[in-house]
């Protein structure tokens, strides 16, 4: 016998829509024969299950129709199978798929066809696509516990979300005719959709979205363990919830990022959900904190929220100093030790500059780029060089004072072989020269070929110092220690690349 599996998510145009999954069966010559009546004790389990329609067809009020298809799916189905006419203890059989095109796939069970479904006995089906998917502990009474470590690894897209599904249901048989009935399955989880909009979102830049929740029961926890009741409903008292979750999503439409997250069902809850976005563009996205009130999500539902994200072009502000990659984009408050440094992003080694900041420092040059700025002569300007074309702008510092002093660095266009992917391997310029020592032909093109960084000072433990005599500018490169990150430092005598504790308050800047 071959059974036809129709597995479809269907969500009408409502903010919360029911998602249903059903397995239907068809008849063939080796079905149980009519007339056997009550002697039919099981529903035949076949080696192949064919899929004749797309796996996921979802319509919602924001994104229109989304479709993803069977592709190397793995389902582990737990059930009290019947073997040689005897009901077995709860056990798992693994089904795999191979897609022949975008709408058709075949499920294969490699263990033969001796096992049969036991009508009326509970079934549990878990996807095991993502990193092993689920670890389960089952009993004859039903599922005991489910460890869903993979839930925190979702990439936020609808297609990926579907691979984290878990289901329960039962098989049936028509005892009056002896014909197989159906497999009716229901979702254990619900789905959260955040429809994020910003005119700055571009299809050219993947957007990293980080969700931080003070409200319980929204974000799936890392290594989340949960037990289920016999009816397939999670036991809320044993569910492990998370406080943060992150994914990088490439917009398919300019101005829109849709986040899809499969999560435990939760009842009414209150608190806040903070959405932080970042990308490699020149824009800074202001984190959005949403107040959650009486917010709930049932199994087999999708909950959608439309949220507008505010963005502003990056503008240098000498009066604001930041902890490294401040996760809330807020500058240091003087005389207060910052607590908003990004301590999550780390490099694989101290020589690895490929890792990058995701928040306040995301648009700063990386450590590779800084080595190239230090490979050619740079010039100190004490703020009194207006007669030769030096800086005349007064920069306001974090403590309210002003300075005109700072360093002139060569722009990338004037540095041969400049690279942000490979560090300069030669000897960096050991010391600064005074602007008055710059050749006259370069002085005449100072503002064209060079850019100026003011000596904006820095903070340590919140205490401000060195305004007008020293500049410290964060890079976008973390070190291999969660406590440190790389930065550019300069004073009248020289400049260098170092790493230091991320809670220091340094300036932000952009490559030129």
| Beta pairing partners, 83 | 86, 115
> Does residue 210 contact residue 246 with C-beta atoms inside 8 Å?
yes
CA dihedral 250, 254, 256, 260 (to 10 degrees): -30
DSSP 151-183: GGG--S-HHHHHTT-EEEEEEEEETTTTEEEEE
Provide the token pair at 72: 């190397």
Most trustworthy range by pLDDT among 16-30, 105-119, 262-276, 440-454: 440-454
Q: What is the pLDDT of residues 312-347, one digit of tens each?
A: 988 899 999 999 999 888 899 999 999 999 998 999
Does 436 have pLDDT greater than 70? yes
Does 311 have pLDDT greater than 70? yes
pLDDT given for residue 200 in this prediction: 94
Provide the token pair at 201: 């979102």
**Residue 439 burial (10 A CB sphere; 0-12, 13-18, 19+):** exposed
pLDDT class of 196 with cuts at 50, 70, 90: very high
pLDDT given for residue 64 in this prediction: 35
User: Pairing relation of β-strands 74-79 and 91-99?
Assistant: antiparallel
Does 56 have pLDDT greater than 60? no
327 closest CA partner among 286, 363, 292:
286
3-state DSSP percent of the chain in helix, strand and coil, to 5? 5, 45, 50
The percentage of residues in the chain with a pLDDT greater than 70, rounded to a whole number, is 70
Lowest mean pLDDT among 64-78, 269-283, 286-300: 64-78
pLDDT given for residue 61 in this prediction: 40
Helix, coil or strand: residue 372: helix
Give the integer Cα–Cα distance in Å for 373 and 376: 6
Does 466 have pLDDT greater than 90? yes
Does 481 have pLDDT greater than 60? yes
> Does residue 459 contact residue 503 with C-beta atoms inside 8 Å?
no
349 closest CA partner among 440, 275, 423, 298:
423
| Beta pairing partners, 60 | 64
pLDDT given for residue 309 in this prediction: 95
Half-sphere exposure of 257 (CA within 13 A, CB side): 30
Give the integer Cα–Cα distance in Å for 210 and 344: 12
pLDDT given for residue 22 in this prediction: 27
Most trustworthy range by pLDDT among 219-223, 240-244, 469-473: 469-473
Residues 6+ apart with CB under 8 A from 16: 297, 298, 301, 302, 303, 304
Provide the token pair at 102: 């975008």
Does 34 have pLDDT greater than 80? no
CB atoms within 10 A of CB 307: 15
Mean pLDDT over residues 498-508, rounded?
A: 97
Mean pLDDT over residues 404-417, rounded?
A: 95
pTM: 0.67
> Does residue 161 contact residue 209 with C-beta atoms inside 8 Å?
no
Give the integer Cα–Cα distance in Å for 403 and 393: 8
Q: Does domain 192-313 have CATH number 1.10.3470?
A: no
Does 181 have pLDDT greater than 90? no
Give the integer Cα–Cα distance in Å for 193 and 210: 14
Give the integer Cα–Cα distance in Å for 344 and 507: 20
Does 394 have pLDDT greater than 50? yes
> Does residue 232 contact residue 174 with C-beta atoms inside 8 Å?
no
Q: What is the domain partition of the chain in residue ranges? A: 3-131+155-189, 192-313, 315-512
- Eight-class DSSP state of 267: E
């Amino acid at each position: 016998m071959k059974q036809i599996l129709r597995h479809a998510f269907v969500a009408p145009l409502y903010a919360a829509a029911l998602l249903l999954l059903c397995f239907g069966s068809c008849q063939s010559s080796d079905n149980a024969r009519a007339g056997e009546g009550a002697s039919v004790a099981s529903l035949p389990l076949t080696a192949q299950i064919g899929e004749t329609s797309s796996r996921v067809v979802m319509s919602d009020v924001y994104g229109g129709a989304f479709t993803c298809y069977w592709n190397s799916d793995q389902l582990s189905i737990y059930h009290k199978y019947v073997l040689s006419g005897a009901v077995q203890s709860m056990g798992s059989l693994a089904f795999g798929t191979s897609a022949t095109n975008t709408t058709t796939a075949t499920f294969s069970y490699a263990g033969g066809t001796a096992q049969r479904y036991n009508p009326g006995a509970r079934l549990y089906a878990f996807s095991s696509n993502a990193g092993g998917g689920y670890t389960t502990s089952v009993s004859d009474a039903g599922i005991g516990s489910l460890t869903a470590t993979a839930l925190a690894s979702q990439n936020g897209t609808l297609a990926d979300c579907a691979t984290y599904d878990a289901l329960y249901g039962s098989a049936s048989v028509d005892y009056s005719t002896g014909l197989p009935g159906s497999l009716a399955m229901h979702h254990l989880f619900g789905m959260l959709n955040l429809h994020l909009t910003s005119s700055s979102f571009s299809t050219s830049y993947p957007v990293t979205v980080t969700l931080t929740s003070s409200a319980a029961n929204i974000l799936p926890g890392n290594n989340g363990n949960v037990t289920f009741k016999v009816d397939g409903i999670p036991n809320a008292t044993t569910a492990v919830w998370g406080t943060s979750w992150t994914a990088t999503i490439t917009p398919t439409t300019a101005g829109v990022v849709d986040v899809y997250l499969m999560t435990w069902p939760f009842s009414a809850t209150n608190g806040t959900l903070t959405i932080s976005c970042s990308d490699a563009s020149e824009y800074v996205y202001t984190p959005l904190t949403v107040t959650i009130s009486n917010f709930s999500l049932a199994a087999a539902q999708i909950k959608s929220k439309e949220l507008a994200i505010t963005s502003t072009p990056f503008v240098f502000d000498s009066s604001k100093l930041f902890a490294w990659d401040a996760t809330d984009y807020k500058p240091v408050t003087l005389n207060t030790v910052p607590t908003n440094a990004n301590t999550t992003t780390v490099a694989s080694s101290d020589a690895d500059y490929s890792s990058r900041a995701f928040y306040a420092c995301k648009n700063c040059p990386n450590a590779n780029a800084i080595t190239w700025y230090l490979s050619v002569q740079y010039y100190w300007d004490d703020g009194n060089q207006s007669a030769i074309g030096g800086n005349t702008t007064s920069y306001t510092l974090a403590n309210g004072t002003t300075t005109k002093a700072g360093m002139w660095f060569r722009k990338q266009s004037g540095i041969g072989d400049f690279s942000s992917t490979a560090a300069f391997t030669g000897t960096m310029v050991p010391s600064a020269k005074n602007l008055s020592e710059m050749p006259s032909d370069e002085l005449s093109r100072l503002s064209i070929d060079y850019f100026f960084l003011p000596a904006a000072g820095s903070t340590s433990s919140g205490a401000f110092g060195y305004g007008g005599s020293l500049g410290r500018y964060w890079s976008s490169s973390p070190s291999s220690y969660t406590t440190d990150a790389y930065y550019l430092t300069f004073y009248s005598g020289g400049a260098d690349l170092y790493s230091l504790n991320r809670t220091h308050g340094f300036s932000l800047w952009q490559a030129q």
